[in-house]
Structure formats: C-alpha cells, structure tokens
C-alpha cells in the first residue's frame, strides 16, 4: 500500500503545500485517486491524480 506525501513544494511560490485529501475508510490509496494540496503561503490549491508510475518497484511512492 502507498500513500501520497503529506507535504509537497508549491510550484508557484516555493512554499509548503499540505495534503487536504483523506484516505478511504480502510486507509488505502489507489492509482487514479485524486488528491488535493493547499499552499500555506500563496494559498494555491493543487489537484493531482495518483498514477501507477508514482509507485516504485518496491511498492513505495516515487515522489
């Protein structure tokens, strides 16, 4: 099982973006899930779709 990172870097301002989306009730994430992040500095919202390519061969995210 993999999970999106709790924090990413904002492309616009370089600030920290935090994950807004929660996992399913069982705590799982799957390819095709949409996740949203919000930047604490510029308040931009980033919506990303998890893809199979985001997972390393060992099953961990490749962020």
Whether the per-residue pLDDT at 56 is higher than 60: the answer is: no
pLDDT band at 59 (very low <50, low <70, confident <90, very high): very low
**Does 59 map to a domain?**
no
Domain span holding position 23: 7-52
Instruction: Give the chain's domain count.
Output: 1
**Does 22 map to a domain?**
yes
Chain position carrying tokens 């807004």 = 20
- Residues 6 or more apart from 33 whose CB is under 8 A from it? 21, 49, 50
pLDDT band at 30 (very low <50, low <70, confident <90, very high): confident
- The Cα 5–Cα 56 span in angstroms is 14
Return left, alpha or beta for 32; rule: phi > 0 is left, psi -120 to 50 is alpha, else beta: left
**Does 28 map to a domain?**
yes
**Does 33 map to a domain?**
yes
pLDDT band at 54 (very low <50, low <70, confident <90, very high): low
**Does 20 map to a domain?**
yes
């Amino acid at each position: 099982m993999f999970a999106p990172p709790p924090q990413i870097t904002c492309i616009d301002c370089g600030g920290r973006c935090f994950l807004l989306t929660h996992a399913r009730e069982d705590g799982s994430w799957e390819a095709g899930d949409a996740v949203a992040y919000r930047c604490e500095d510029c308040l931009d919202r980033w919506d990303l779709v998890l893809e199979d390519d985001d997972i390393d061969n060992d099953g961990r995210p490749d962020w």
